[in-house]
A and B are shown apart, each in its own frame.
Chain A
Amino acid sequence: MSMGARHQITAGFMPLFDSAVLVAAGELGFAAREGIDLTLHRETSWANIRDRIAIGHFHLAHMLGPMPLACNLGLTPLASETIVPFSLGLGGNCVTISNAVWAGMAAHGAEPDLDPARAGAALGALIRERAVAGHDPLRFAVVHPHSGHNYELRYWLAACGIDPQRDIEIVIVPPPFMADALAAGRIDGYCVGEPWNSASVAAGTGHIVTVKAQIWRNSPEKVIGVRKVWAEQSPEALAALLRALHHSARWCQDPANHGELAAVMAQSGFLGLPPAVQMPILTGHLQLGGGAALDIDDFFLPFDKAANFPWKSHALWFYTQMVRWGHVEHTPDNVAIARDCYRPDLYRSALKPLGVALPGANAKVEGALKAATPVGSAGASLVLGPDGFFDGQIFDPDEIDAYIARQKSARAEA
């Protein structure tokens, strides 16, 4: 540890690949170069991360994108005000199902092409067939109720005419147990980040049917959640950390570094899994099961496409889904809490001295970009998108009421 460090920062993380930008910042010297002595603590549950942020053990942590919102909206025990000045990447998750469900879906036209609409239609047909036959509802698992996984799984199902509250059951299973639970028949499918999807495919016990990058391309996943009290007390330390994370993210995105990154993450203190298991998320080349394989564009982006920018429209989309599934009441106060949770202003002021490309706006209309688009930004050029939802819907953060009402009525009609 460098004795001359100006800032001592303690951070928590979960052993998931999308903690890579934070881990690499500590392990590969990006933090030290910014004068930070960064101590990383591996945790075993998101609840632990929440507790340790709340009592001040951690200044900040690797968190699920909606988790800081849930804290600030008072949806969790021991909630403490948490802000998001940095996003750890876009994409990275898949939906994996058992061989039996895949056989049932294939009988209804599913193809190993990851197309969310086709897979959803086949799953819907299978669910209706099972209901008529009097079978128990299929049981899907996600990692946490307030997670991108839960909301994208529900979004996909609902857009395909499947009511996630009525037609299936959703339970919580920790990521490393997903593949075992599927193999043992305790669950029929799950939505989780890599490598826990490829794990089932490699074991021959599951099929990947669709991916986050196709349900909502370039969509938010994990973030850096910061204890607000600390952020206000230590603005210089936070800005230095954001710069370190920026350099780390750029390094993680570069294919030339993927081998080294996988080796770092393979260490027992981090993922503790062989480097080969981590290659699918880095290359976007996925084995889907049954010998099928596919290359997925923008499967996981730790840096490109402004992946680290904490868009307020991302926070607000998570908020609309919290409302949609009854996690929180829709009120003007709650909208304000959600909007204030993500802090592009802190990201921008920390990175401005670097002269790097920065988005000019704090929010964008999600789903509007049909192709990769260069956007006006301060300094160097920046490319965003495509960012489409698979069902062609658009989320305009200035039209939240209408978006919530539209999803509510779609459900009522179903």
Chain B
Amino acid sequence: MLRQGLLYKRIANEMQVGEAMAMLGECCDRCIIPHCTIPSLGHNAGMVRTALAVLVIDENRIRAAIIEAGLREAGHERVTVIHDVTGIARRIAEIEPDVIVIDLENPNRDMLENMFQLSRAVKRPIAMFVDRSDQASIEAAVDAGVSAYVVDGLRQERVKSILDMAVSRFNAFSRMARELEEARSELENRKVIDRAKGILMKSRGLSEEAAYTLLRKTAMNQNRKISDIAQSLVTAAGLLGPAEDE
């Protein structure tokens, strides 16, 4: 009865019905009344699954967007993304998240953990997810660079899928960032090789092909990368003579 009363009070406070239904799902997960049902609002298991409020704290906007998309695809409607932790205590009080996902690179973890332990700052106690998780999940999360905090009393299996998703998306993002970096350095290498070829063509009167062959042979003889040889040549040329560009 108390639960219904609270709910209706919030509806009376001009809350949207959809939001109230989502809230209901959240309520019932921790409901202390045995076999609690509020049939008029279509309470069901599916509703419960979509109702967790998830807060993603990530300064990297692209990665945050990827996580958010993953959560929404998995049916989580109530996802909030924060890039900047300024005023985070107030935001957490407003959002009342069930699950907080944060990247390990964020230097504010110490501040957040302290806040979670102060009942003044957040209404509901929040524990670190990994505390009640298995070693493999913990390692997977730390390896991926992500951590999660959940409100007390939330069943682990409900959160595990969120953390698993975050872990796989973090890994995917890292892979993407690595590939991007490789592509970028590949482009840089190609530029420096072109410059080295130009220097050889000019100073030794070689054709482009012969200049490249010389670079490649030198690299093979010295057991180094062509781009390293090219970089040495460009640096040396810069030191020895008037720069080729000038």
Contacts and interface: CB of A to CB of B under 8 A. Distances in A.
Partners in one complex: yes
Interface of A: 44-48, 51-52, 54-55, 57, 76-78, 143-145, 171-174, 176-177, 186
B159 to A, nearest CB: 14
Given A44-B107, A144-B110, A77 B138 contact: no
A44 B114 contact: no
Contacts of A55: 135, 138-139, 142
B89 to A, nearest CB: 9
Given A77-B131, A78-B130, A45 B142 contact: no
Contacts of A171: 111, 114
6 contacts: A44-B109, A45-B109, A47-B147, A55-B135, A77-B130, A143-B110
A85 to B, nearest CB: 24
Given A78-B128, A78-B131, A177 B107 contact: yes
B113 interface: yes
Nearest to B139: A55
Contact of A47 (B113, B127, B135, B139): B113
B104 interface: yes
B110 A46 contact: yes
Nearest to A141: B111
Contact of B111 (A51, A76, A174): A174
B107 A45 contact: yes
Interface in B64-122: 86, 104-111, 113-115, 117
Given A55-B138, A57-B142, A78-B138, A47 B130 contact: no
Main SS class of interface, B? helix
A48 B128 contact: no
A52 B105 CA distance: 13
Interface string B132-143: 000100110010
B114 A144 contact: yes
A374 B160 CA distance: 59
B147 A51 contact: yes
Contacts of B147: 47, 51
B110 A51 contact: no
B78 to A, nearest CB: 24
Contacts of B109: 44-45, 47-48
A44 B107 CA distance: 5
B62 to A, nearest CB: 19
Nearest to B108: A174
Given A46-B110, A76-B113, 4 more contacts: A45-B109, A45-B110, A55-B138, A172-B111
A76 B138 CA distance: 15
Contacts of B139: 55
Nearest to A143: B110
Nearest to B147: A51
Nearest to A15: B107
B110 A47 contact: yes
B106 A44 contact: yes
A325 to B, nearest CB: 12
B105 A44 contact: yes
Contacts of A76: 113
Contacts of A45: 104, 106-110
A44 B102 CA distance: 13
A144 B109 CA distance: 10
Contacts of B104: 44-45, 48, 51
Nearest to B135: A55
A174 B113 CA distance: 12
A30 to B, nearest CB: 29
A159 B130 CA distance: 39
B92 to A, nearest CB: 14
Nearest 7 CB-CB pairings of A with B: A77-B128, A47-B109, A172-B111, A45-B109, A174-B107, A172-B114, A44-B107
A57 B115 CA distance: 26
A19 to B, nearest CB: 15
Residue of A45, A46, A76, A177 with most chain B CB atoms under a 10 A cut-off? A45
B138 A172 contact: no
Interface in B36-64: none
Contact of A145 (B114, B128, B131): B114
Contacts of B106: 44-45
Contacts of B127: 77
B110 A174 contact: yes
Contacts of B107: 44-45, 174, 176-177
Contacts of B117: 145
A54 B111 CA distance: 20
Nearest to A171: B111
A77 B113 contact: yes
Residue of A55, A144, A177 with most chain B CB atoms under a 10 A cut-off? A55
Nearest to A44: B107
A172 B109 CA distance: 10
Residue of A143, A171, A176 with most chain B CB atoms under a 10 A cut-off? A171
A173 B111 contact: yes
Contacts of B115: 172
A76 B110 CA distance: 11
A374 B107 CA distance: 43
Residue of A46, A47, A51, A177 with most chain B CB atoms under a 10 A cut-off? A47
B93 to A, nearest CB: 15
A304 to B, nearest CB: 30
A51 B142 contact: yes
B42 to A, nearest CB: 37
A331 B147 CA distance: 32
Nearest to A147: B110
A171 B108 CA distance: 12
A53 to B, nearest CB: 11
Contacts of B108: 45, 174
A143 B108 CA distance: 10
A52 B111 contact: no
A51 B142 CA distance: 8
A66 to B, nearest CB: 13
Given A44-B104, A44-B105, A55-B139, A172 B131 contact: no
A176 B4 CA distance: 48
